Chain A
Amino acid sequence: MALTGIEIFKLLPKTNCKECGDPTCLAFAMKLAAGKAELTACPYVSDEAKARLSEASAPPIMPVTIGVGDRALKVGGETVMFRHEKRFENPPGFAILISDSMDEAEVDRRLGKFKQLEYERIGLTLRPDLIAVKCDSGDKARFEALVGRVKQGSDGGIILMSDNADIMAAGLAACADRKPLLYAATEENREKMAELAKANSCPLAVKAADLEKLAELTSKLTEAGVKEMVIDSGSRTLRQAFEDQVAIRSSALVKKFRPLGFPTIVFPNEMTDDPMKEAVIASMFVAKYGAIIVLSDFYGESLFPLLVERLNVYTDPQRPLATKEGIYEIGKPDENSPVLITSNFSLTYFIVSGEIETSRVPSYLLVKDTEGLSVMTAWAAGKFVSDVLAPFVKKCGIVDKVKHHKLIIPGYAAAESGGLEEELEGWEIQVGPREGSNIPAYLKAWKP
């Protein structure tokens, strides 16, 4: 349970030395309670207080990092049930399965897919995160060789899958420096798996048949000194898996129940044989609390939708996504093509550029940085008005690209047309439609 500011205050030295940067110990305690300060800022806190406070201030769902370097994946650390309550913190990782029963060509194909399938969207690169390497052969050497190959052939995070600790050790021998996730500790193998996880500083996945047994198992592993865990409730039917995800998240957040306060791993690949259905099941877990989502294979047609869904669901509701300011060429515009201007709220950009695309009229779209506000809001806030738009239009370089001097502004910014004509000498300002859906008709009728 989290401590209140007063409870924390009682554990502090109460000397008001100010070395933490706050005027009093009480002020510091209040900041700690609100999560706005770190206990390490206090040089005089006792070890006993430290232990109690760090336990109480630990996040209700443990953040876990898999892998190293640029592609390290951080999952967990979630603080809400619904994204509008604050935000979802760490997007789930998608993993592709590679088994040691596959032949070399198949392994290479999958490694190739992992590398190849990435997508640019509003200046972000969307791509999958993990490779789940599974031992189906029961052969240590074969598994170790495959893990070595995966490590060589990819910079993605690795999940090692075997419930045999000796085989796991062999896999680890090939890739321990990549900090793989070990899947999985069970009631039967937990002691050995815990040793491996601790000795190699790797996160440990824990699997049990139901939530009760899972909680018992993570408690034992915590006692054994394992810290970073990822949990699998064992259910592979949709209804039970959904229920488990909700129960795990709510018991961790609402009841601060530590034994289930870990990110989850889910297996759509074990819930159906149909890749299309598997993708739809995965999409449910993106929305409902999966932290690692293992897929049987990657296909462009399903990975892309899942990656954009993930981007959407994990967008911070308080900070809208924004598109980069600049000139966007849609179709293959030339010197006689229409020029439109809009705001840089990414949704606005997507809708406007999509509708221009639909019109099949090659066009230039000028995107003005409005700090992620939509046209109407930006206009009301003075960020989409003539004295900021005019200098942008002049400087952005569009004058070198078109012969005409006609600028189409959104219908919602119609009030700016007079001001713009004044500030953009020689330009004709045309008021376009208010709604994106009317852009195609407007552009089809447009003449330079």
Chain B
Amino acid sequence: MALEIPKTAYSGKIREMKLGGGDKAVTVGGETAYPFYLFEGEMPHPPRIAMEVWDMQPEDWAPAALEPFKGVTDDPAAWARKCVDDYGAEMVCLQLLSTDPNGLDRGAEEAAAVVKKVADAVDVPLIVWGTANHDKDTEVLRLVAEVCQGRDLIMGPVEEGDYKKIGAAAIGYRHIVMASTPIDINLAKQLNILLGNLGVPDDLIVMDPTVSCIGYGIEYCYSVMERMRMAGLTQQDDKLQYPLICNISKEAWKTKEVHMADDELNMGDARKRGILVEAISATVLLMAGGDVMIMRHPEAIKLVREMIAELTAS
């Protein structure tokens, strides 16, 4: 019996998408095989990592996560610059936490001004992430879309409850929207169809499958992402052939375990533990098909970059 390694029968391809503009634009997607299955097909563009910046001083961050950004966490533009200059960020994700109606509830004008500042401070592709409150995100992201015209943002989350107005702004000012659904392949497909019907062109849509970290239900998004890739690559489901963005660092760093002290409950070094919870969560999501990882800690990012580089090494 001779060794015969079966090959998956692929019939589709993930859309190739340019994120951002100018020299620093990056391209993601284009896969013709399952994640890192380079022996079966192509992965022309390696997954990318966007470094997370908050639009407000973080209050509950573990010391390990705060330390690399000492001195800039009160200034989103300086923070973003530090990510690019000191940590080599290829993309930045600005999390608009301050606009949360259950929190600071900062107004749209103020939020948009901060986004503009960050957009001007760095030239890498910029993701702008709202709070998933439909009314507020609609207000904020529409204004953001306007003031950042020409910056080719990636913005969201856009959900069934607010896709029309944000989608229209994205078409008008040519930004990419992140179609966000709660860990469900059918809902994801449906939202992509709705966005298409609205007139959002295919090259302005990426998907946010809603992710969680290890220990907190990562298996759900893992399997949903695998199924999305299967549908897009082997079942010609062109409404699931968009690249996947995973907002993972926020999930990883808010867990109880990351905040425990050194050696508490046998969990070893707190700093390294936080880094590994983030890096391992991201690695798991890469295995499932993530194209962009939103991450926080420079050392976690370094570890994941090395994984990507070695998995795609020729």
Contact = CB atoms under 8 A, between A and B. Distances in A.
Contacts of A303: 268
Nearest to B307: A280
A84 B229 CA distance: 13
Secondary structure type dominating chain A contacts: helix
Interface stretch (A138-146, A165-173, A249-257): A249-257
B5 A312 contact: no
Contacts of B288: 287
With most chain A CB atoms within 10 A of its CB, the pick from B38, B60, B256, B304 is B256
A281 to B, nearest CB: 7
Given A84-B227, A304-B267, A276 B275 contact: yes
A257 B4 contact: yes
B263 interface: yes
A300 interface: yes
B283 interface: yes
A212 B303 CA distance: 32
B3 A212 contact: yes
B69 interface: no
B266 interface: yes
B283 A283 contact: yes
Interface string A252-279: 0011011110000000000000001101
A118 interface: yes
Interface stretch (B77-85, B143-151, B173-181, B210-218): B210-218
A441 B219 contact: no
Q: Name the interface size band of chain A.
A: 35 or more
B266 A116 contact: yes
A246 interface: yes
B253 to A, nearest CB: 12
Interface stretch (A149-157, A185-193, A196-204, A237-245): A237-245
B109 interface: no
Contacts, number: 164
Contacts of A257: 1, 3-4
Contact of A284 (B218, B277, B307): B307
Contacts of A250: 5-6
A258 B1 CA distance: 9
A301 B272 CA distance: 6
A21 interface: no
A101 B269 CA distance: 27
A347 B6 contact: no
B186 interface: no
B226 A312 contact: no
Contacts of B230: 82
Interface string B1-39: 101111000000000000000000000000000001111
Interface in B249-281: 254-257, 263, 265-270, 272-273, 275-277, 279-280
A317 B273 contact: no
Contacts of A311: 215
Contact of B287 (A239, A288, A437): A288
A305 interface: yes
B268 A302 contact: yes
Contacts of A219: 1
Contacts of A304: 257, 266-268, 273
Interface of A: 82-84, 116-119, 121, 211-212, 215, 219, 237-239, 242-243, 246-247, 250-251, 254-255, 257-260, 276-277, 279-281, 283-284, 287-288, 299-306, 308-309, 311-313, 315, 317, 347, 350-351, 353-354, 357-358, 437-438, 441
9 contacts: A118-B266, A119-B267, A238-B307, A239-B312, A257-B3, A300-B267, A313-B222, A357-B256, A441-B102
Given A283-B284, A347-B216, 8 more contacts: A117-B266, A211-B5, A243-B38, A276-B299, A300-B266, A305-B273, A313-B222, A347-B212
Interface of B: 1, 3-6, 36-39, 60, 102-103, 212, 214-220, 222-223, 226-227, 230, 254-257, 263, 265-270, 272-273, 275-277, 279-280, 283-284, 287-288, 299, 303-304, 306-307, 310-313
